[in-house]
Amino acid sequence: MILVGSSFPNVELQKVLSKYAEDDSVIILTETTSNIYHPKFINSIDKVIFPVSSEEFEEFKPEILVTLGGMVISKKIKQLLRKSPPKHHWHIDELGAMDTYHCLSEFVQTNSAEFLTSLFETNENVESDYQQKWLEEKGRRAEKHEAYMQKCEYSDLKVFEAILEKLPNESQLQISNSSTIRYSQLFDVNSTLRVFCNRGTSGIDGSTSTAVGAAFSDEKPTTFITGDLSFFYDSNALWNTNIPKNFRIIILNNAGGGIFRFIPGPLKTNAADYFETPHNLTAEHLAKMYGFEYVQVADLKELNAELNEFYSETEQPKIMEIFTPKEINDVVLKNYFKNL
């Protein structure tokens, strides 16, 4: 198993991993922020393995785990690989080793594309159904995903599907932390995009500032998808005279931090009252103060109509604020995973 964490787009790495995809004994798992694409890759890890128990994972676990890139967002793959560790774990990186799965056996401090190319040249393919097992599982989950999304009601999940379908080709996508990056992991992302998330200690701090800086450094359009709390927390990022006019911000406003309604714990006690930050704020006045065009939507029909115009050329950057139903977002997502 080759597991690729957050990475900058890398043509050489893409080429060599595409070669490994033709080996039946190899499966390649990527994340939204890996910036690596191939039909035979498992590109939505949580969607494929969420229903898999620790016992069932014994059939899917690798003998050798090769990890590349930075942090991995999927908690499920971390849990399964820690409970059922591979015989060997190699981490390939030019900078430092990460023992994320508590079974690191080799740290190879070198360029990952060069290492994998060298390894491939000495590799002998063996007869195996390992990749096929994973791809069959991927196919089953994809069918379940499509069936659920066709009947899915208006919610954070349905909104994310609509947004990802409308992103301009060859553009940059910045995603904030918490629910937002996790929703993105459930969908096939346009392979022409360059996708980044301000990961670190996984907090919401500075996501908007990172996106503004990234937009300034890139001539191509940049879209920043963020939750309401993350956006308001770092709204001073807009106090900046260098924001390009092709910068777009999409805010999913569910009035207070919806992830705490999904993760285990808070809803079973009164803890949700302390974790959530309920509010009635909108970004409308901030947009006016900082010179952004502003539009708000509250249903799927409005959203699809506004998205058609959202990326048209203007003399100002734009903010779209999407209000979603706080009371059902977690129910829709939980039912999605049950449906898988």
For residue 109, give the CATH number of its domain. Answer: 3.40.50.1220
Instruction: State whether 262 and 331 are in the same domain.
Output: yes
CA dist 322 and 333 (Å) reads 17
Whether residues 225 and 326 share a domain: the answer is yes
What does the CA dihedral 140, 67, 131, 189 come to, rounded to 10 degrees? 40
Q: Specify if 192 maps to a domain.
A: yes
Band the pLDDT of 205: cuts 50, 70, 90.
confident
Q: Are residues 132 and 188 in the same domain?
A: no
User: Both 123 and 182 in a single domain?
Assistant: no
Last residue of a domain, one of 114, 142, 170: 142
Domain annotation covers residue 165: yes
pLDDT band at 200 (very low <50, low <70, confident <90, very high): low
Regarding whether 180 and 124 lie in a shared domain, the answer is no
Domain end (from 113, 142, 171): 142
Three-state SS at 171: coil
Is the pLDDT confidence value at 56 over 70?
yes
Residues 270 and 312 grouped into a single domain: yes
Domain membership of residue 147 (yes or no) is no
What is the pLDDT of the chain when averaged over all its residues?
A: 92
Q: Would you state the pLDDT for residue 198? A: 84
Q: Are residues 74 and 218 in the same domain?
A: no
Give yes or no for a contact between 258 and 179, defined as CB atoms under 8 angstroms apart: yes
Nearest Cα to Cα of residue 72 among 2, 126, 138, 142: 2
Domain boundary among 83, 110, 142: 142
Q: Who has greater pLDDT, 204 or 221?
A: 221
Q: How many domains does the chain have?
A: 2
- Cα–Cα separations (whole angstroms), residue 87 to 31, 91, 253: 23, 14, 45
The verdict on 129 and 189 lying in the same domain is: no
Helix (H) or strand (E) holding 148: helix 130-151
- Domain membership of residue 195 (yes or no) is yes
Q: Which of 18-32, 110-124, 264-278 has the lowest mean pLDDT?
A: 264-278
Asked if 5 and 71 touch (Cβ cutoff 8 Å), the reply is: yes
Report yes or no on 54 lying in a domain: yes
| pLDDT > 90 in the chain, percent | 82
* CATH number, domain with residue 219: 3.40.50.970
134/167 same-domain check: no
pLDDT at 163 (0 to 100): 97
Do 236 and 277 belong together in one domain? yes
Judge if 131 and 158 occupy the same domain.
Answer: no
User: Is the domain of 95 the same as that of 220?
Assistant: no
Q: How confident is the model at residue 272 (pLDDT cuts 50, 70, 90)?
A: low
The torsion angles phi and psi of 13, rounded to 5 degrees, stand at: -65, -40
Please give the residue range of the domain that contains residue 60.
2-142
Residue 210 lies in a domain: yes
**Of residues 97 and 277, which shows the higher confidence score?**
97
